[in-house]
């Protein structure tokens, strides 16, 4: 009986001890698992449920929710993808879960990153041990992430073929001011990492593509014009397509801020092209016999001489033009024309027409001279006459095509937007045009440009414009098929010796 009571007592004691041990084990057992907590955290993070995330974090900072909200708003995050890796133990009660993330940024697209979610046991439960780098590794040690605007790419101006403007084209002074006109009113974006004491680092950059605008410049023609001027200081070449008025080349090396498009200079004998048009209009025939003495004095007025006072006797009007006889033109103009008639003819050939190129431009001026001495000087491109190289190229183009067209560097639509309405196309008198073509051909065939090395089928006119106290300006205008040009060398000397050989280099290089 006593033994039975002992057994019962032992059993009761064991039960009490077992119950106590179970209670102790139950009290010390960790709730859940690291894997489960990590899964819940990632799920809440994907959904943007910050309050659910807070409940899983050990001692979350007071600005936990604000940090997450600010990062998403400041970086313009559209979505977030998270892909957890396999957990790895880092201690008895600590685990790390590597993960890959991709934030989709509205301006910059996908932005991948790698991170680590650290967990530990706190108060018998697995908790996320959150630090700023949990949000992104670059936020460690006080780092910040910012989305900033960057300047948009400048507009890119290209040739008519859609190719890059040749290097050292001597057209930059005209193209650079145009770029802002075509730059789109937008900006790019950059994601920037900033760390105290370190330079900013751009992580992703997206700039808008440059707005590409075609000019009328032809790549091979522009390159040939530029190369023809490589060794010639204070010079310019303007090339125009006669059939359209498009500027095919604009190589400008003029110094002292002078412009071949906007500035005017005494044109010298290239202006005789307009004077010849006025004389032809008055009835003077190209084959008419005219005097070309070495010197000629206007009755009761001043005297004029040919270059070197060369006396050619009696020649045809065409040959007087070919040899640039000053005396012939002075005599014929002062006996046949008034200042108003010469001025009116100049206006018909461009001086009185609206020029709109897209980059500005002017033609020049031919005042209606009342004094015979001034009229005579104007007739040979001296006196009060001034012209731009642009205008002289347009004149040559009009002779070739028979139609005066306002030269342009851009599309007709852009020219109107930037420069206004250009002058309308103006057909010239067919008879006068035909005569001028023959006369300009004679200049190259046996006249002042015959020894310049010009290729076949070129027609042109040389010009030497005297400048008081300085070296003369050198000019040569001409055309070959659907290509018209003006070569101008400021204070370059003789048009025959300086400008015409440059034209030859240009034409031989096209």
How much is the average pLDDT of 222-238? 97
Q: Residue 7's pLDDT is what? A: 41
- Place 153 in a pLDDT band, splitting at 50, 70 and 90: low
Return the pLDDT at 270: 98
Q: pLDDT tens for residues 68-118?
A: 999 999 999 999 999 999 999 999 999 999 999 999 999 999 999 999 999
Beta bridge partner(s), residue 83? 100
Q: For the ranges 142-156, 218-232, 353-367, which has the lowest average pLDDT?
A: 142-156
Tokens 């103009």 -> residue = 333
Nearest to 239 by CA among 161, 181, 169: 169
pLDDT higher than threshold 50 for residue 19: no
Q: What is the pLDDT of residue 155?
A: 77
Confidence at residue 5, expressed as pLDDT on a 0 to 100 scale: 52
Q: Which two tokens stand for residue 460?
A: 């042109």
Judged against a pLDDT cut of 80, whether residue 8 lies above it is answered with no
Express each pLDDT in 334-379 by its tens digit: 999 999 999 999 999 999 998 999 999 999 999 999 999 999 999 9
Residues 289-333: tens digit of each pLDDT: 999 999 999 999 999 999 999 999 999 999 999 999 999 999 999
Q: What is the pLDDT of residue 20?
A: 40
pLDDT at 27: 41
The least confident of 42-56, 191-205, 206-220, 447-461 is 206-220
Is the pLDDT at 384 greater than 90? The verdict is yes
**What is the structure's pLDDT at 24?**
34
DSSP of 407-472? -BSS-HHHHHHHH-PPPPPEEPPHHHHHHHHHHHHHHHHHSTTTTS-PPTT-EEEEEEEEETTEEE
Other C-beta atoms closer than 10 Å to the C-beta of 141 total 11
On the question of pLDDT at 16 being above 70, the answer is no
- pLDDT grade for 207, boundaries at 50, 70 and 90: confident
Does 149 score more than 90 pLDDT?
no
Give pLDDT, residue 210: 64
Q: State the pLDDT at residue 29.
A: 79
The residue written with tokens 């006249």 in the block is 447
DSSP secondary structure of 96-162: EEEEEEEEEETTTEEEEEEEEEEEEEETTEEEE---HHHH-GGGGGG-EEEEEEEPPPPPEEE-TTS
Find residue 148's DSSP bridge partners.
Answer: 190
pLDDT exceeds cutoff 90 at 186? no
pLDDT higher than 70, residue 120 = yes
Task: Tell me the pLDDT band of 51, cut-offs 50, 70 and 90.
Answer: very high
How high is the mean pLDDT of the chain? 92
> For 111-139, what is the mean pLDDT?
96
- Judged against a pLDDT cut of 90, whether residue 1 lies above it is answered with no
**Structure confidence at residue 179 as a pLDDT band (50, 70, 90):** confident
pTM over 0.85: no
The helix or strand, by DSSP H or E, that contains position 281, with its residue range, turns out to be helix 272-282
Q: Is 450 exposed, middle or buried (0-12, 13-18, 19+ CB in 10 A)?
A: middle
Reply yes or no on whether the pLDDT at 234 is more than 90: yes
Q: Residue 491 gets which letter from DSSP?
A: T
């Amino acid at each position: 009986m006593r033994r039975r009571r002992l057994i019962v007592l032992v059993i009761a004691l064991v039960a009490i001890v077992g119950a106590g041990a179970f209670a102790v084990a139950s009290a010390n057992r960790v709730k859940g698992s690291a894997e489960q907590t990590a899964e819940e955290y990632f799920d809440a993070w994907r959904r943007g449920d910050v309050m659910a995330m807070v409940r899983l974090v050990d001692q979350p900072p007071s600005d936990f929710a604000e940090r997450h909200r600010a990062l998403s708003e400041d970086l313009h995050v559209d979505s977030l993808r998270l892909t957890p890796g396999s957990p790895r133990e880092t201690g008895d009660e600590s685990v790390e879960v590597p993960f890959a993330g991709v934030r989709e940024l509205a301006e910059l697209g996908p932005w991948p990153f790698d991170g680590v979610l650290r967990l530990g046991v706190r108060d018998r439960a697995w908790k996320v041990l959150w630090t700023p780098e949990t949000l992104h590794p670059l936020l460690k040690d006080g780092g910040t992430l910012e989305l900033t605007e960057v300047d948009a790419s400048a507009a890119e101006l290209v040739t008519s073929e859609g190719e890059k403007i040749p290097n050292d084209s001597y057209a930059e002074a005209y193209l650079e001011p145009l770029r802002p006109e075509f730059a789109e009113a937008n900006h790019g974006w950059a994601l920037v990492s900033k760390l105290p004491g370190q330079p900013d680092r751009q992580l992703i950059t997206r700039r808008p593509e440059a707005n590409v605008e075609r000019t009328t410049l032809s790549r091979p023609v522009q390159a040939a014009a530029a190369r023809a001027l490589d060794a010639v200081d204070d010079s310019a070449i303007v090339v125009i397509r006669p059939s359209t008025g498009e500027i095919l080349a604009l190589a400008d090396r003029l110094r002292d801020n002078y412009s071949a498009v906007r500035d005017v200079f005494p044109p010298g004998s290239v202006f005789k092209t307009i004077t010849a048009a006025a004389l032809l209009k008055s009835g003077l025939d190209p084959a008419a016999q005219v005097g070309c003495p070495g010197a000629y004095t206007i009755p009761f007025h001043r005297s004029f001489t040919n270059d070197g006072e060369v006396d050619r006797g009696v020649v045809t009007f065409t040959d007087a033009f070919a040899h640039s006889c000053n005396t012939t033109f002075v005599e014929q103009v002062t006996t046949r024309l008034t200042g108003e008639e010469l001025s009116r003819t100049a206006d018909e050939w461009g001086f009185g027409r609206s020029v709109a190129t897209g980059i500005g431009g002017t033609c020049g001026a031919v005042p209606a001279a009342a004094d015979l001495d001034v009229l005579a000087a104007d007739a040979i491109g001296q006196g009060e006459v001034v012209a731009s190289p642009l205008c002289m190229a347009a004149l040559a183009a009009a002779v070739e095509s028979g139609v005066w067209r306002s030269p342009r560097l851009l599309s007709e639509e852009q020219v109107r937007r930037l420069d206004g309405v250009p002058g309308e196309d103006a057909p010239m008198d067919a008879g006068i045009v035909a005569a001028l073509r023959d006369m300009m051909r004679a200049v190259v065939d046996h006249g002042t440009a015959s020894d310049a090395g010009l290729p076949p089928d070129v027609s042109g006119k040389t010009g030497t414009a005297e400048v008081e106290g300085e070296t003369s300006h050198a000019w040569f205008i001409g055309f070959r098929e659907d290509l018209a040009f003006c070569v101008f060398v400021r204070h370059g000397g003789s048009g025959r010796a300086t400008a015409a050989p440059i034209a030859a280099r240009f034409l031989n290089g096209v």
